[in-house]
Structures are given as structure tokens and as C-alpha cells.
Structure 1
Amino acid sequence: MNTLLYIDAGLGMMIAQAAIAAFAGFVLFYKTLIIKIKGWLGITSKTDESSFDDMYDEKDLKD
């Protein structure tokens, strides 16, 4: 039996959006999980000590 399936543009975009959202959700969940596991094990990555807030001294902000 030869059956043709029809997916219109709206349904196709809904499927594509769901696939992209599922992938993004998986990536964010995975990154969060890895960070928590590394925190429990005491493994930390090297962080950059400079930040935007550290650019100014306290006396510069009072003026």
C-alpha cells in the first residue's frame, strides 16, 4: 500500500521548532549537570579574574 504523507508548512515549522527546543534544552541541562558534578568533585575550571565591575575603584564611583 502506497501512502503519501502530507506535512504543510505550519506543521513542518512546529516540528522543526520542537526539535530545536529539545536540542537546546538538552544542551543546557547537560551543561548544568556537568557543572554540578564538577562542583561536588571539587574540580573547577580556571576563571577570568577581571570583570566589568572591577574596572572602577570605589573612589571613582563616589565622584
Structure 2
Amino acid sequence: MRVILRRNNEVKEMEGDLKVSEILKILNINPETVLVVRGEEILTPDKIVKNNEEVEIIPVISGGR
């Protein structure tokens, strides 16, 4: 699968079908700090990403007073 890290526009290639939570663990990314998107669908940690798919990992920015 192709994983695009939008924080720095880095592309990672990974083999096999993996859960979103497994992808984030492999990449050492805290799941509370990002959104994982396939097309226009936001994926939850339990969703499986197939070997032939592409996902984007987008950092979440929060702010307030």
C-alpha cells in the first residue's frame, strides 16, 4: 500500500493488508494527532487498508483560547 504523510509529503510503501492502528504503530505515529483518509473517507483505527490502496495521514491541528 502507499501511505502519504502530509506533514512532510513523504511517501511510504507498505506490504500486506493492515489495520489503520497497525500502520500508525509501524510509523510510530500517535493516533490522536492525525486523521487517516482513503479517498474522501476518514478511517477509524479498526479499518483495514488493502495492499493495493492508498491512504493519507493528515496531522490534526487544534487551537483555541
TM range, normalised to the smaller chain? under 0.3
TM-score, structure 2 normalization: 0.20
Which is greater in Rg? Answer: 1
TM-score, structure 1 normalization: 0.20
**Which has the larger strand fraction?**
2
Relative contact order higher in (CA < 8 Å, ≥ 6 apart): 2
